[in-house]
Structure 1
């Protein structure tokens, strides 16, 4: 099959966001092109929404988000190519990211809202490039747990060379997560990715890890002990370290003579930022992040069915505004800290529900274009990406989205009632293997919770959509119910 040409779509998007001169920066996540524009008011929202290949337009987190769907990587490459080699060079060097990270995302908004939007933008830019490998690693770990199940005859010995080798392939993404997050954060912020990756390597250096697991004391001041911590699997300390490295590196560029820059800039940056991270910011941030993640896990488990019901009913609303990126690092923190996430188990059911809702539309509708979009969006949702379903169909026919929320509320209720957990990152139907407990393969409670909650999500969402949520006489909405950032609306 010939490769599809996205050049025309790329040219149209560039023109309708205000032209090349209006684009400060561009990144992409799993389904969206995330533009940082100089002036969002000149972008042609309504024209873009009607463009073939564009699902929707969202304004959130200081970003002008053009929702593409599963082809976003190809469209991104085409847009970058159309913007020319100079813009591509800026992206490679991180220079465009510096503009995006420092620009005020919402003119006229209050500083708190602006700060929140910048924070979400940094988290998004830091986490987006690594989500795929984390998800893939989670699937591998789940499959390994499946193959060691006693109920299946323990097809694979957990102490075998084959198991340990494949396990290393899966664990490496989590073990060296600080290096990957640091690299991605530095590129987004406009820092030096290699220097920041080396700082991440300091945090994951074997001797540091060994000392961190034993909470070895570095030194004491007035009875207060400074201890090493284990930073493998961590996220937040490296995002701050990337920011510190950028600021300190830029300062050194101003004060050091040019003939000392090549050696002493990275040398001093690595020494100073690594020391600050190990001594101060790392322990504080890691402790706070672990505390928040553990508290959320405890709250979800303690509240049982009620917590599952509430989270299941409303989580996909966060996706509308791109605010779910604030939850993603917490899920990763939970899995890295305790090895499980009750929150992610509930979130998984919300993906299945939106997929089932759009599947009902695809089957019921006689409109060929809607059927094609619906089936593709359903597959995407069952693979853990709900944006094509939400923006392409469900929010355009608002009852379909609500039908999915009803199904996910029932799914969350069942998951919470059974105290289901996830032991990997990948959700929805494709993430079934993440519900096997690698530490106790014989414990199938979470897997049974996954089966029952997913079945409920599919049946309830499908039936509610079929009998109430959709018919071919409905008129498709031109835009989603609400585009404004909820935080700004309260300001």
Structure 2
């Protein structure tokens, strides 16, 4: 078995040598390389690299799929061999290369939300664990009842599960300022202003126990706990405004004037204009999403589950982060998660069928690890390495996702968090839903597996692909 250093050397050689590589970076699963001349890439050699699960061009980058964990080690070895790391400006330019305005907007939206997803994932897992630990059935195993749980322990779990969503605007404003070129610390403070305890709490206002503050006789002002759009727009405008001020203020006055003016102007705009307007728009989006998910006969699950992985391939799936965050912040549950996890599981089922049916040792070596990756929630190796290459497995994976999504919708499955699916996603359903969650995933996998094994693949496809 080759070492990671040897694999990195093979990568550089297959890409045309050091002189053909401009820079390199990576994401969760892929090594992303900018090359000077695409024609110098030996794609057959790339496909034969140990641990590589496929490769393709996207957004101006040649992307080699290695999978979670492995890609970090290969990246480190590649840079140790003298390949330059990709600058943030190069990354931005490459991401936007060949994209229209809508695609660039969605990409930017994703850039804002991706950095804050880890804490939302952790919060969702905390919610799931709290739900497990407070179940009567679980407590009974230890001879306890709910009344035996310490009030202080419950308070601690509340701190774990409520903090991220209570201060969500601060997280969003921080990330927005960072993405749009402002000072992240100003974004944090601006976001915290939106949830200052001096303002009426948004949840209490919604419950009717507290009244909004009326400013200037007609503007209702509340805290914006759990909101996303107001903080996103405030972050976007605030970062641009800060940069305008910084360009016009003498350097010796920059520290004094720039943050003062930015926070003063943006606090007024955010609380009295941006907040009321975009919070109303956000409410409309949330209501529309809930309406869609309440359609009868599992229609929403069928459509979302069937199309989700197709949307992932197009790269505009980041828009759903906003919807999931909104559902969690305002309703405490996320019905999207169970639907989407079906689509992820189904792609793994289709890839498993290919691995089981093929006689090619190389394809088996690619398909089985890709299946495991999909069952752990990451479908890129399965989609780009196997399913899309042979087309029908991908299509039958979509069918499995639609069937599983419809079943999840009919069963009213609701996760306690987001961004973890299939096996890791079980932690979001550690209550009476766990059996149904497992059933939904099993159905999605079974449908995709059977259809792919029976009608979606034969080794003749390998010859066509070569």
Query: So what's the TM-score if we normalise by structure 2?
Result: 0.82
Query: What does the per-residue CA deviation read over 1:269-297, in whole Å, with 9 as the maximum and x for residues that have no partner?
Result: 12222322222223322332232133222
Give the whole-Å Cα distance in 1 for the aligned partners of 2:236 and 2:317.
22
98, 115, 119: which one pairs with 1:133? 119
Q: Is 1:55 equivalent to 2:54 in the alignment?
A: yes
Equivalent pairs counted in the alignment come to 448
The DSSP-based 3-state class of the residue aligned with 1:198 is helix
Secondary structure of 2:280's aligned partner:
helix
Of the candidates 63, 66, 70, which is equivalent to residue 63 of structure 2? 66
Structure 2 Cα separation of the partners of residues 176 and 150 of structure 1? 31
> Which of 263, 276, 281 is the aligned partner of 1:283?
276
Contact (CA 8 Å) 2:351, 2:387: kept in 1 or not?
yes
| Aligned counterpart, 1:205 | 196
Find 1:463's aligned residue among 434, 450, 453: 450
Deviation per CA, 1:207-240: give whole Å up to 9, x if none: 347377436544444x5223113233x3333332
User: Residues 190 and 67 of structure 1: is their aligned pair in 2 closer, same or farther, counting only changes over 3 Å?
Assistant: farther
Instruction: Name the CA distance, whole Å, in 1 between partners of 2:157 and 2:10.
Output: 41
Contact residue 30 and residue 64 of structure 2 kept, 8 A: yes
Query: How far, CA to CA, are the matches of 1:357 and 1:255 in structure 2?
Result: 58
Q: Counterpart of 1:487?
A: none
Q: Which structure 1 residue ranges, 5 or more long, are not aligned?
A: 107-112, 480-491
Matches within 5 A, 1:13-32: 29-32=27-30
1:224 maps to 218
- Pairing of 1:83-162 with structure 2 (within 5 A): 84=84, 91=88, 100=93, 105-106=97-98, 114-153=100-139, 157=146, 160-162=151-153
- Most deviating of 271-280 and 254-263: 271-280
Residue in structure 2 matched with residue 185 of structure 1 by the alignment: 176
> Structure 2 matches for 1:369-448, cutoff 5 A?
369-425=362-418, 426-436=420-430, 444=432, 446-448=433-435
Contact preservation (8 Å) 2:14, 2:45: no
TM-score by length of 1: 0.78
- Root-mean-square deviation (Å): 3.6
Asked if the contact 1:236/1:286 (under 8 Å) is kept, the reply is: yes
Deviation at 1:144, TM superposition (A): 1.7
Work out whether residues 29 and 129 of structure 1, in 8 Å CA contact, stay in contact via their aligned partners in 2.
no
CA distance in structure 2 between the partners assigned to 1:226 and 1:347 by the alignment? 37
SS at match of 2:219: strand
- Residue 57 of structure 1 aligns to a residue in which SS? strand
* Counterpart selection for 2:160 from 154, 169, 187: 169
Distance in 2 of aligned mates of 1:17 and 1:320: 30
SS of residue in 2 equivalent to 1:371: helix
